[in-house]
Amino acid sequence: MPTAEQQNLIDKIADFLREEPRIAAAWLAGSLGRGEGDAFSDVDMLALADDGTAAEVSTSLAQGLSAIAKPVLVDALFGGRVLNVVTQDWQRFDISIVQGDELNRYDAVSLTPLFNRSGRNPPTHPSRAYETEPERLSKLVNEFIRIVGLTPVAIGRAEFELALTGIDILRRLTFDLMLEENGIPPARRGGALHRNPLLTDAQRAALARLPPQAAERGSILAATRAYAAIFLPRARQLAAKIGMTWPAEFEAATRRHWQAKLGVDFAAPSGD
């Protein structure tokens, strides 16, 4: 349930959209629209524009945002189809503008209606359990191994600050793998700052045991190996479950690369 502050913002945005004659309907979307938000959630709005008017509507809305609150940041994303806004008191909201058949991409179950002058509504999609597909998991695994394989390059060049960027990518891939394990479909994963409710206690405990990272050789090696120790066994188990072919040659080549350049195996315990 939205907080009083969030509800006040929702009401202001709904009134703002209602006054635009080319907006036929609007829904509260995102985690708040699904009834899963919290006090830190941003406000996501879905607005149905008359066919052929999305670009004009986006421009008009962007110019009139001060009717809601004073914006200090307005990003027009995806050709203006999404207006990403931060207000003076750091309230955050998005307005996504769709037309006609684009409503089919959304699920009525995940939206809260605000007003509708058109009678058109998103469909209700059949509910079914999500299971990762081999192609999706394969991309995660190959990207993880590729980033691990770049570690000797960063260390060889003493680019330790940039190597931390690689650690961040490994962290993201590990989060994504855990969400695949838990059967959380991409549409239900919410924002980048809202992951704890989607992870199990065991997963959170594994992440909490990861070593701190610093821009120096030993720390980069320890962190990379620690992430590999979490990611690879879990990925192998999930791959076996769904019938994905493991990239054994790629993994073996990357292990040899580490041994040749660093003298260690990336999958060995970080305390070695």
Q: Comparing C-alpha atoms, which of 3, 1, 26 is closest to residue 13?
A: 26
pLDDT of 100 higher than 70? yes
Q: How confident is the model at residue 269 (pLDDT cuts 50, 70, 90)?
A: very low
Structure tokens that stand for 144 in this block: 């993880």
First to last CA, the chain: 49
Q: How confident is the model at residue 78 (pLDDT cuts 50, 70, 90)?
A: very high
Please identify which residue in the block is written with the tokens 């708040």: 32
Q: How confident is the model at residue 37 (pLDDT cuts 50, 70, 90)?
A: confident
Least confidently predicted of 131-145, 172-186, 257-271? 257-271
Mean pLDDT computed over 75-93: 96
Q: How confident is the model at residue 238 (pLDDT cuts 50, 70, 90)?
A: very high
Q: Are 251 and 233 in contact (CB under 8 A)?
A: no
Least confidently predicted of 46-50, 52-56, 71-75, 122-126? 122-126
The per-residue pLDDT for 221 is 95
Structure tokens that stand for 117 in this block: 């002058």
In b/e form, how buried is each residue of 116-125, taking b as 16+ CB within 10 angstroms?
eeeeeebeee
Structure tokens that stand for 180 in this block: 């695949």
3-state secondary structure of 75: strand
The alpha carbon of residue 20 and the mean position of all alpha carbons in its chain are separated, in whole angstroms, by: 31
Q: 158-196 pLDDT, tens per residue?
A: 999 999 999 999 999 999 999 999 998 877 766 655 677
What percent of the chain clears pLDDT 70, i.e. is strictly above it? 95
The per-residue pLDDT for 119 is 87
Which one is predicted more confidently, 271 or 122?
A: 122
Q: Comparing C-alpha atoms, which of 205, 213, 113 is closest to residue 164?
A: 213
Structure tokens that stand for 75 in this block: 């990003």
The sign one gets for the Cα dihedral 207, 92, 14, 56 is negative
Distances (CA, A) of 127 to 23, 97, 106, 108: 29, 25, 13, 12
3-state secondary structure of 247: coil
Mean pLDDT computed over 216-228: 96
The per-residue pLDDT for 60 is 96
CATH of domain 4-116: 3.30.460.10
pLDDT of 121 higher than 70? yes
What predicted TM-score, i.e. pTM, was given to this entire model? Answer: 0.77
pLDDT of 270 higher than 50? no
Q: Average pLDDT of the chain?
A: 92
Q: Are 47 and 97 in contact (CB under 8 A)?
A: yes
Q: How confident is the model at residue 272 (pLDDT cuts 50, 70, 90)?
A: very low
